[in-house]
Amino acid sequence: MLTRLTSALALVLTSVLLVACNNTAAPAASPEQRSASASNPVNVPQYSAEQFFATKTYFGNDINHDASAMLVASDESGVFNLYRVSMDGSNWQPLTQSTTDPAFPVSWFPNDDRLLYTADQGGNELNHVYLREVDGTVRDLTPGDKLKAYFAGWHNDGSFYIASNERDPRFFDLYHYNSEDYNRKLIFNNNDGYGISAVSKDGRYLALTKERNNADNNLFLVDLASDKPSPVLITEHQGNISHQIYGFTPDSQSLLFGANGDSEFVAAYSYNLQSGATSPYSKADWDISFIYFSEDKQYRVQGVNADASTVIKITDLQTGKALQLPELPAGDLRGVTFSDDSKYLSFYLNADNSPSNLYVWQLGSPQVQRLTQALDSSIDEQHLVQSEVVRFNSFDDVTIPALLYKPHQANPNAKVPALIWIHGGPGGQSRTGYSPMIQHLVNHGYAVLSVNNRGSSGYGKTFYHLDDLRHGEDDLQDIVYGKKYLQKLDWVASERIGVIGGSYGGYLTMAAMAFTDEFEAGINIFGVTNWVRTLESIPPWWEAFRESLYAELGDPAVDGERLRRISPVFHGDKVKKPVLVVQGANDPRVLQVESDEMVAAIRANNVPVEYVLFDDEGHGFLKKANRIRAQQAYLKFLKQYL
């Protein structure tokens, strides 16, 4: 359950926070072939930012104990709140009514309609875990001013686990909570920087991760039933191998984990808790992202990150065959969730031109039922754009994957300006799926190339590590060569190409504007501009992977000279073209002072720079009004300068 919930939450937050937006569909023709056959411009209506963000975002679909309702989050009110949604979608009962801090669903209780959810304060990322009683009473299960906590799983008896860094802000300890009076017991005291990943359903075993560097880590197992529980290494190995935990099997007999020791991609393995034997479990041509099971142990759900799209396979463990769903619209499945008895299956379907919509299927019935209309009714899906997976060679002939969005109105007789979108991370990935930000820009006549530069995840471990200690250098050249790729398309206005990105993508945007003369305009969305300060001021709860971060980006105590050399804030005099900077005042990752100083450095050079500051946001935009305001700023800026 935890793996399923956190995977679904990560997908939606990635989209909402603009850490890594994107989409795909793979037409038979290449961009060059399509441009060659283009004729007159296609006239499509231009929709406003308000229309695109009138689109509703949904996530979470945990089915309650008696399969009468789902727990769903929606931003229809402008802020994410929780709803109890009947299985036929006819009844949406509000469960939270926040006007400030978004609420994110965790789970129903196993045997009643109590529920758990998380929320932070103003985007500070200090999430607490909250309990909502059936009568609507809300209790903070993790009170305190400066702590961060997260749900860590259910026990078979209905009790549950929460990890919290209240004792030491650097590390997370594990607490076992009673489900009746909510008293808790500390069951794992974490003084050595382990990552708490999963607890077996019988409560006996705890799975931990421990980082060595950004290419190598280990997995440990703790027998919580022993007199002195202590971590035992279960992934003895030589060289660099990256491991990840999927979770325990429902019978608490095995731990499933991923590793990339035998190939470029992550395969799944099973560790037998009794014998200590490890055996291959599942393999794909790409990374296996997650594996989890239905509550009654009948079905297994496996997700594969296949060329920037998530391919989900549901297997009936009694027959070994894939579960065949009724015919569905085009798109990727997300958040696949079974009722406890596997009578019902709930999921989201997401495509480039269609936001995530919630579906329910009663297994065996001929049709699925769609419960939501996420896209605003004023927008026609046919007017939106499907992306295409493309590839180009960079300066050193490394092949760079990307997603290309071609405006309907673009052709050789009506060339359009273009933007390169850079994802966050630095190890993120631009992925397929609906992005109102990108669709709005494309709808207004801007081509978008979402580049998965070297260092992006999803394309093998060699590609992932090509930018280690080379940030702002080799990966920046990938962005430049993305521009060269765009310039070869006969429907792109080759002299009107800009760059835009969020988080690490915001950094590369500023690097492109400071260290190259390639782009006509840049939009930096809460991007790092001073690597020395950023790496010296990481949040305390990142301590467990500090060394991994340094192995990838550099240690400010050792690599200070290089970090200053690649930090745009020290080179504001080199910025010659217009820049828009967007920042959240409560951002704990990219401090406001970085954007303040970057803007001042550009202004000192008499270069046009615009600055949009959000007082009530952190590292991203969780409030709908702020997303609209930011989007309007992007479009206004681009119309003026591109």
Q: What is the pLDDT of residues 566-585, one digit of tens each?
A: 999 999 999 999 999 999 98
Mean of pLDDT values over 583-602: 90
Contact 602, 579 (CB under 8 A): yes
CA gap 571, 529 in Å, rounded: 10
Burial class (CB in 10 A: 0-12, 13-18, 19+), 92: middle
Q: What is the pLDDT of residues 165-205, one digit of tens each?
A: 999 999 999 999 999 999 999 999 999 999 999 999 999 99
Comparing 21-30, 206-215, 323-332, 367-376, the range with the smallest average pLDDT is: 21-30
CATH of domain 57-191: 2.120.10.30
Enter the DSSP assignment of 35. H
Mean of pLDDT values over 518-533: 95
- Tell me phi and psi for residue 409, to 5 degrees: -85, 0
Question: Please, which pLDDT band fits residue 618 given cuts at 50, 70 and 90?
Answer: confident
Contact 426, 69 (CB under 8 A): no
Question: Please, which pLDDT band fits residue 465 given cuts at 50, 70 and 90?
Answer: very high
Sheet of 332-338: strands edge to edge? 332-338, 344-351, 354-362, 369-370
Q: What is the pLDDT of residues 306-350, one digit of tens each?
A: 999 999 999 999 999 999 999 999 899 999 999 999 999 999 999
Burial class (CB in 10 A: 0-12, 13-18, 19+), 425: buried
Secondary structure of 212-232 in HEC code, one letter for each residue = EECCEEEEEEEECCCCCCCCE
CATH 3.90.79.10 fits 381-641, yes or no: no
| Two tokens, residue 523 | 């939009």
Q: What is the pLDDT of residues 279-297, one digit of tens each?
A: 999 999 999 999 999 999 9
How confident is the model at residue 502, as a pLDDT?
A: 94
CA gap 509, 472 in Å, rounded: 10
Coil, helix or strand for 478? Answer: helix
Sheet of 160-164: strands edge to edge? 149-154, 160-164, 173-177, 184-188
Going from the C-alpha of 324 to that of each of 64, 211, 316, 401, 579, the distances in angstroms are: 24, 39, 10, 31, 50
Residue-range domain boundaries for the chain? 57-191, 381-641
